[in-house]
Structure 1
Amino acid sequence: MRYISSKHIPTEELQKLYNDAGWFNYTYDLNKLNQAFSHSLYVLSVWDDTELIGLIRLVGDGISIVLIQDLLVKTKYQNQGIGSSLIDKVLKRYKDVMQIVCLTDNQENTKSFYKKRGLSHVSNYNVVAMAEIKPHI
């Protein structure tokens, strides 16, 4: 497996990965998905030969805030430490950033995954998170 830091990932590979995760809102408009990647702060992808098997995508200024926008690992590669490795690498890279934020599914296994990586529920900081989430990007 190879880790590659690049915002430029073939559209077909992105589509396969996002569809595998069931994140069809992202593949509804592939031009917007490509724009989102080109405007990202940082993207780290994982490859098995020529197959994209996972990635983490960050947005933000890299100084005061970083948002973990996407963390995906193809189903057949899950539970092999790839997602943990991706998040550990970016947490190390941005260790001096004041706020690292992640919006995620409200499922126990997902919340447990991020807690093991050192992230906490926002209520632990006496703050509240607010959002407007639209069906398509």
Structure 2
Amino acid sequence: MEQSRSRRSSAKIVLTVIAVLAVLCCCGGGAGAFFFFNGATKAAGEATSAFLTDLQAGNLTAAYDRLCDATRSRYEQPSFAEVVNRRKPVSHDVHWGGGYDNSNGRETASITADISYAGGGRDAHTFQLTKDAGTWEICGDPY
């Protein structure tokens, strides 16, 4: 009898240790993923905020310079300015986090921001970004 109680007690201790280690690994992995993706999207979020700040300040040349080549080829600078001036942003709030991908060395991100406009109105816009030569650029539908 004594021996079977000892075995059960040892088994409980081993199972408890395994459970604690499993919980620590899961929590550690979750925290690691949180910090990785937060760090990976932080610079893209800052680039998005800088783009919107340029638009708000009326510095459309600087905002246009933040567009990737593919988007600039779709929007000439005068037509870009026309679109922005029709619905001028007055404030923005970039959401925490976002999406990040690194496929074959090509880094992309998606960042959502709430934008308030002159004359009223507010909406959320998701910006697509591409990293080119170490700089995050706005791609896709810029506005």
TM-score by length of 2: 0.29
Higher helix share: 2
Point out the structure with max Rg over C-alpha: 2
